[in-house]
């Protein structure tokens, strides 16, 4: 005899209605498919999307250097995930780690010349893929609305994270 199934407690803010559920699931599947598409576009450069993003963040930083904690926050990685990814990239000569010059206690990631060169080589293909699967797939009005919506989502998520 199996125990009776009990219904889950109702969420404090209520269940999603059918339209909200459909849109939420479309978002989740869309994000996964976009990430897969961008990973495939970066494969000829032997890069994954998360690695490409690290190269971009370092390329935009002063002296192409960021503290590991700051780098992790900028790409929304845990410190341990970032450490593993940077270690792989360090073996390939794309990034190097060194003690922070400012205080000597922390570690900073530095974009190497090889990392910069790979980024310069991969960027046109990546941007073409982003345009094809995302930017050009959305009308201008919807694209702007998406930007506003995601800015709000990030603000609420950041505020909620600080309360935890």
Does position 11 have pLDDT exceeding 80, yes or no? yes
Does position 34 have pLDDT exceeding 90, yes or no? yes
pLDDT tens-digit series, residues 68-110: 989 988 887 778 888 999 999 999 999 999 998 777 678 999 9
Supply the DSSP symbol for 109: E
Domain map (residue ranges) of the chain: 24-163
Per the CB < 8 A criterion, the answer to whether 133 and 38 are in contact is: yes
Strand order of the β-sheet with 107-111 is 65-67, 107-111, 95-99
Per-residue tokens: 30: 């869309």
Topology, domain 24-163: Arc Repressor Mutant, subunit A (1.10.10)
∠ CA 10-12-14 to the nearest 5 degrees? Answer: 60
Share of the chain above pLDDT 90, in %: 73
Does position 36 have pLDDT exceeding 90, yes or no? yes
What pLDDT sits at residue 163? 85
CA-to-CA dists, residue 85 to 20, 23, 32, 52, 143, angstroms = 35, 32, 20, 11, 31
pLDDT tens-digit series, residues 123-161: 999 999 999 999 999 999 999 999 999 999 999 988 888
Q: Which residues of 87-112 are buried (b: 16+ CB within 10 A; e: fewer)?
A: eebbeeebbbeeeeeeeeeeebbbbb
Q: How far apart are CA 101 and CA 104, in angstroms?
A: 6
């Amino acid at each position: 005899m199996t125990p009776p199934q009990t219904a889950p407690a109702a969420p404090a803010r209520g269940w999603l209605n059918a339209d909200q559920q459909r849109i939420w699931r479309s978002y989740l599947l869309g994000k996964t498919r976009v990430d897969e598409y961008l990973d495939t576009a970066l494969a000829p450069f032997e890069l994954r999307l998360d690695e490409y993003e690290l190269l971009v963040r370092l390329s935009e930083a002063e002296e192409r250097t960021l503290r590991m904690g700051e780098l992790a926050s900028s790409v929304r990685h845990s410190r341990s995930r970032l450490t593993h990814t940077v270690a792989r990239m360090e073996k390939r000569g794309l990034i190097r780690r060194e003690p922070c010059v400012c205080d000597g206690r922390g570690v900073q990631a530095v974009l190497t010349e090889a990392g910069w060169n790979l980024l310069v080589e991969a960027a046109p293909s990546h941007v073409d893929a982003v345009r094809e699967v995302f930017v050009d797939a959305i009308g201008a009005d919807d694209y702007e609305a998406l930007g506003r919506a995601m800015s709000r989502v990030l603000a609420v998520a950041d505020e909620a994270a600080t309360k935890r």
